Amino acid sequence: MASISSNPPGKITVRRVKLERSYERYLWLFMRLSGVAMLILAVGHMVIQHVLNSSTNLTIQFVAAQWDNWGWKAFDILLLWMAIPHGIRGLFNILSDYIHNNGARRVISVILGLFVVATVIWATIAIVLFDPAIVP
Amino acid sequence: MTSLILTVRESIRYRGRSGQYSWLAHRISGLAILFFLVIHVWDTANAHFWPQAYAWSIALFKNPLFGIGEIGVMAAVLYHAFNGIRITILDFKPEWWRHQRASSLITWGLFLVIFVPIAILMFSHMIGHCSELAAAGDSCLRIPAFSDFAQYAR
């Protein structure tokens, strides 16, 4: 890890610093790692579902055929686990730039945290338990 | 409210140049993806919990109004992905910050080269779908009736 100071202007000095382990730092790292993973997972999902296939001929039968395969289920679960926390953390980072009251920030972070947990659990149950046989 | 107006105005006026526009585009595309993603995830979960609602919603999403939104989501995902990789590389390689301007221009270029053909393809899928329905005497603008999907009710 490195921090930076540019003095004199235009000249960049790189200084190695030791960072303490903290919750914030792991979330910062999670944003980078999930971002790199989603270059494959999310961009891949968009290309497969919206370019190679198209939502103009998407049906529940198509979904049932895909989710008859544990590979596709795993792909979607992995993407879900990365995308929802990444997106909500990003929203929290944006809100933190404009909300300076610590109490309000804490309330928002708890609400958003609960939302992440609820969404991830709900959607994971849906993907795992989805039974292609129920689709006529 | 004045703070919101100030934020929006200064986001555009602030003289951070290319880096500032990348930062702004990264935020806007991120918020747009999140808005879509939350709806998409809860809607897709209905494939298991409420299949009739899911079957109806994906029929509704074939409406060109949603089709335009879908092309917008594609743009947002591609830009956010490429710029996110740029941010990650620069975070770990601060000595490359002197290439901030060049790297942001490369990101925009890469985004355009990949997005434009994809957008044309998606747009042609949409037009094809609408002309197919029009030939059958239907319209792609018609809102599907929920009761038409009763066979998927559990």
Q: What is the per-residue pLDDT across A101-124, written as a single tens digit (0 to 9) for each?
A: 999 999 999 999 999 999 999 999
What's the pLDDT tens digit per position in B59-69?
Answer: 999 999 999 99
Query: Phi and psi for A5 in degrees, rounded to 5?
Result: -140, 135
What's the pLDDT tens digit per position in A20-53?
Answer: 788 888 999 999 999 999 999 999 999 999 999 9
CB B130 within 8 A of CB A54: no
Residue A91's nearest CA partner among A68, A69, A116 is: A116
Under an 8 A CB cutoff, do B49 and A126 touch?
Answer: yes
What's the pLDDT tens digit per position in B14-57?
Answer: 777 778 899 999 999 999 999 999 999 999 999 999 999 999 99
Helix (H) or strand (E) holding A4: strand A2-5
Residues 6+ apart with CB under 8 A from A64: A130, A132, A135
Task: Flag whether pLDDT at A69 surpasses 70.
Answer: yes
Q: Which residue of B41, B61, B84 is in closest CB contact with A55? A: B61
A13 strand-pairing partners: A5
| Domain enclosing residue B129, as ranges | 19-152
In a domain, B23, yes or no: yes
What is the predicted pLDDT for the residue at B12?
A: 76
Residue B141's nearest CA partner among B50, B60, B53 is: B60
What is the predicted pLDDT for the residue at B153?
A: 85
Q: Check: pTM over 0.80? Answer yes or no.
A: yes
Which residues in chain B have Cβ-Cβ distances shorter than 8 Å to A84?
A: 37-38, 41
* Average pLDDT along chain B: 92
Could you give the number of structural domains in chain B?
1
Residue B44 sits in a domain of what CATH number?
A: 1.20.1300.10
* Average pLDDT along chain A: 90
The matching CATH number, chosen from 1.25.40, 1.10.3470, 1.20.120, 1.20.1300, for A26-134 is 1.20.1300
Distance from A104 to chain B by nearest Cα, in Å? 17
CA distances from residue B72 to A50, A51, B30 in whole angstroms, order as listed: 12, 13, 12
Under an 8 A CB cutoff, do A55 and B88 touch?
Answer: no
SS3 A67: coil
A4 strand-pairing partners: A14
In a domain, B140, yes or no: yes
Q: What's CA A125's distance to the chain center, in Å? A: 18
In a domain, B14, yes or no: no
Q: What is the DSSP letter of A20?
A: P
Q: What is the DSSP letter of A130?
A: -
